[in-house]
């Protein structure tokens, strides 16, 4: 594994190594990244270090570098990333996915992630969520549970 010293003194892997580790999928939009596309193309591969310099100094655990489309990474800029819940899922009061996944990866336990009008909606959202957070935090075993809650269904994620 070849490493290069990055702009802030952090070790940086190559795009090929990170692409292979992330299965050539953008960690932000979850769409495929074409490894043959130019890094200057908006849909080309880029590396997102997932943290700003200020935040990197504060955090004891270093956040992994992730593969992103150039446009997704540029659009995110030097701010906290947001992974959107897909529009086809019917969720109410959805939790912030990245921060919830990071908390569960660090501390374990469980978190309420959303409310859904039907158990079928909650199960569809739960299956999607476990798949998505498993790729955000590959070393963690996630599971979901659906709990009835006052005429709606609560989607609970656990690690």
Among residues 22, 44, 76, the one where a domain terminates is 76
Domain that holds residue 124: 97-158
Both 69 and 101 in one domain: the answer is no
Length reported for the chain: 159
DSSP designation for 4: E
Both 10 and 72 in one domain: the answer is yes
Predicted pLDDT of residue 60: 43
Predicted pLDDT of residue 8: 40
Other CB atoms closer than 10 Å to residue 121's CB: what's the count? Answer: 20
Residue 84 lies in a domain: no
Other CB atoms closer than 10 Å to residue 83's CB: what's the count? Answer: 18
d(CA 21, CA 64) in angstroms, rounded, equals 11
Both 72 and 110 in one domain: the answer is no
Predicted pLDDT of residue 76: 66
Q: What is the pTM of this model?
A: 0.70
Predicted pLDDT of residue 77: 63
Both 13 and 66 in one domain: the answer is yes
Both 116 and 65 in one domain: the answer is no
Beta-sheet strands, E only, within the chain: 4-5, 11-12, 45-48, 66-69, 110-116, 143-149, 152-158
d(CA 70, CA 119) in angstroms, rounded, equals 37
| Predicted confidence pLDDT, tens digits, the chain (159 residues) | 344 434 444 445 688 888 888 889 888 888 899 988 888 888 888 888 765 444 545 554 455 788 888 888 876 666 667 788 999 999 999 999 988 998 999 999 999 999 999 999 999 999 999 998 988 888 899 999 999 998 899 999 999
CA 36 to chain centre: 23
Predicted pLDDT of residue 14: 83
Question: What total number of domains does the chain contain?
Answer: 2
Residue 149 lies in a domain: yes
């Amino acid at each position: 594994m070849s490493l290069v010293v990055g702009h802030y003194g952090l070790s940086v892997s190559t795009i090929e190594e990170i692409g292979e580790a992330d299965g050539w999928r953008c960690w932000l939009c979850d769409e495929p990244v074409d490894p043959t596309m130019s890094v200057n193309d908006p849909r080309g591969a880029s590396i997102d270090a997932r943290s700003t310099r200020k935040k990197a100094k504060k955090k004891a655990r270093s956040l992994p570098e992730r593969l992103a489309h150039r446009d997704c990474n540029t659009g995110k800029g030097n701010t906290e990333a947001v992974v959107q819940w897909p529009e086809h899922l019917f969720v109410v009061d959805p939790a912030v996915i990245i921060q919830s996944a990071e908390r569960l990866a660090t501390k374990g336990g469980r978190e309420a992630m959303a409310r859904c009008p039907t158990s079928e909606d909650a199960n569809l959202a739960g299956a999607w969520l476990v798949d998505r957070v498993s790729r955000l935090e590959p070393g963690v075993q996630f599971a979901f549970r659906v709990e009835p809650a006052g005429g709606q269904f609560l989607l609970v994620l656990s690690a």
